[in-house]
Structure 1
Amino acid sequence: MGGHSRPLRCGSERKKQNASYIINFITKATKILLVQTLVFPIFLYAAETWTLREVEKTKIDALETWCWRRTLGVSWNEFRTNISIIRELDIKQRLSTLVHSRILKFFRHVSRRHSNSIERLVQGKLEGTRARGRSPMRWTDQIKSSVGGPLHECTTICKQKWRMIVRRVTTATNNVPP
């Protein structure tokens, strides 16, 4: 039994060395592009319909920093802060703010449509009685809180002004260090 473990161990060590050579051979800019084009789009699928609370924002930020740490090969034992890694990679926009801006852009897209059942369903204007207890945070509630006004005023805003609002809200919530 002991005779078979040595060649397997040497083969697996050789594979690790080859993989680390390939990982070290790719430039940092290429690694960033690979993560942004292969990993993040899968995560962001249907993100426009999510309801984000602070707990979800911290989880999204944790996933993003985990991806960047894995990309750079930084271990948790190296005691590097997430801010230092983001500064090293020169990340301009965090993943949680990208999700937030997609939510706001999707709201603008839905609110421009003519009055029909889909728009009423998205905005929560359904017939019936409300359930008992405290109501959970809805998709429209996060838009109201981020824009700072009622939804019917948001639907009448022109496109350029809406883009300015989205830019202002996302730069205010973007927690990338300067």
Structure 2
Amino acid sequence: MQELFRKLETESNEMGLAVNRAKTKIMVVDRAAHLNNPKNIIPGVDIVEHNVYLGAQVNTNGSCVPEIKRRIGMTKDAMTRLNNIWKKRGISMNTKIRLVRALIFPIFLYGVETWTIRARERQRIDALEMWCWRCMMRIPWTAKRTNVSILTQLKIKTRLSTICHQQILSYFGHIVRRGDESLEKLIIVGNTEGKRARGRYPTRWTDQVKDTCSSKFCSIVREAMDRTRWRAIIHSKCKPSSDDHDPQSWGNDERERVNIFTRKKNKKTRSNSERV
């Protein structure tokens, strides 16, 4: 690595460029996650376990969980900084929903195509979405409002976690439809030489594609070659993980609570129209 870094500095100097060692970081991604004599590998260059590259955090173990937690924190921070907007009564609820989708959710969805979302991460994403909706509606935690009633009031049909899986499948289709010389396609479709370590292996990026489509990988690749068919499969396979909007699947108490809320809202609307 010292030789590679020396060549990099030499070639950069010939082009009139200089390597800033204070801003240069070294991160080794391997199974052992360690180096021999890491402090003396390159003078003036720090060795880190995680680094933000092109807006996304990369870790030595290849896990995307720290990046998801980081994005959740950034999303909540952006949501909190817009409290003055959520407090204004002159802004309609539909406008606030559009603001959340246009200003808040894109912060979380940046780079989502590269994530490996497990069941635990999907629960975190669903919890973040409900936190955003409750913050937008100014609902305190003491209010006995269920997630189903809030989603029904806002008429939310597609959950944030579902959007994540849709973008992952869409990106998978783009990779598969590339030429055989594509490096991304070779990594996804090709086989790697060697043997696995003992024990259960971590969930891979392609494993979530197979779990979502509930099919063999070779069949998924063939279906993804057809853009129109693959788009239909994405919308049919990606469904909400929880908080079903179908009233038939709710309990009697939940249906009654939503009906009472709807009747109160209609009564308030009629009274306002009569005053006008």
What secondary structure sits across from 1:93 in the alignment?
coil
- In structure 1, the partner of 2:220 is 154
Distance 1:134 1:128, change over 3 A: same
The equivalent position to 1:127 in structure 2, one of 172, 189, 193, is: 193
Contact 1:44–1:99 (8 Å) recurs in 2: yes
What secondary structure sits across from 2:234 in the alignment?
helix
Structure 2 residue 156 is the aligned partner of structure 1 residue 88: no
What secondary structure sits across from 2:96 in the alignment?
helix
Structure 2 residue 213 is the aligned partner of structure 1 residue 141: no
Contact 1:57–1:96 (8 Å) recurs in 2: yes
Q: Between Structure 1 and Structure 2, which shows a larger proportion of strand residues?
A: 2
Question: Could you tell me how far apart the structure 2 residues matched to 1:31 and 1:159 are?
Answer: 34
The equivalent position to 2:168 in structure 1, one of 103, 117, 128, is: 103
- In structure 2, the partner of 1:164 is 232
Question: Could you tell me how far apart the structure 2 residues matched to 1:60 and 1:170 are?
Answer: 15
Distance 1:82 1:128, change over 3 A: same
Alignment of 1:13-32 (within 5 A): 19=84, 23-32=88-97
Distance 1:176 1:26, change over 3 A: farther
- TM-score of the superposition, structure 1-length normalised? 0.81
Question: Could you tell me how far apart the structure 2 residues matched to 1:66 and 1:81 are?
Answer: 12
What secondary structure sits across from 1:166 in the alignment?
helix
Structure 2 residue 138 is the aligned partner of structure 1 residue 70: no
Q: Between Structure 1 and Structure 2, which shows a larger proportion of helix residues?
A: 1
Q: For residue 54 of structure 1, report the CA deviation from its aligned partner.
A: 1.1
Identity over the aligned pairs, expressed in percent?
41
Question: Could you tell me how far apart the structure 2 residues matched to 1:124 and 1:105 are?
Answer: 19
Contact 1:92–1:176 (8 Å) recurs in 2: no
- In structure 2, the partner of 1:34 is 99
Contact 1:144–1:150 (8 Å) recurs in 2: yes
Contact 1:93–1:174 (8 Å) recurs in 2: no
What secondary structure sits across from 1:25 in the alignment?
coil
- In structure 1, the partner of 2:268 is none
Deviations 1:114-143 (A, max 9, x none): 223321223463333323321111110111
Question: Could you tell me how far apart the structure 2 residues matched to 1:173 and 1:54 are?
Answer: 9
Contact 2:210–2:216 (8 Å) recurs in 1: yes
Cα RMSD (Å) of the superposition?
Answer: 2.1
Question: Could you tell me how far apart the structure 1 residues matched to 2:215 and 2:86 are?
Answer: 54
Q: For residue 148 of structure 1, report the CA deviation from its aligned partner.
A: 2.0
Structure 2 residue 238 is the aligned partner of structure 1 residue 177: no
In the alignment, structure 2 segments of 5+ residues that lack a partner are: 1-83, 247-276
Contact 1:111–1:119 (8 Å) recurs in 2: yes
- In structure 2, the partner of 1:15 is none
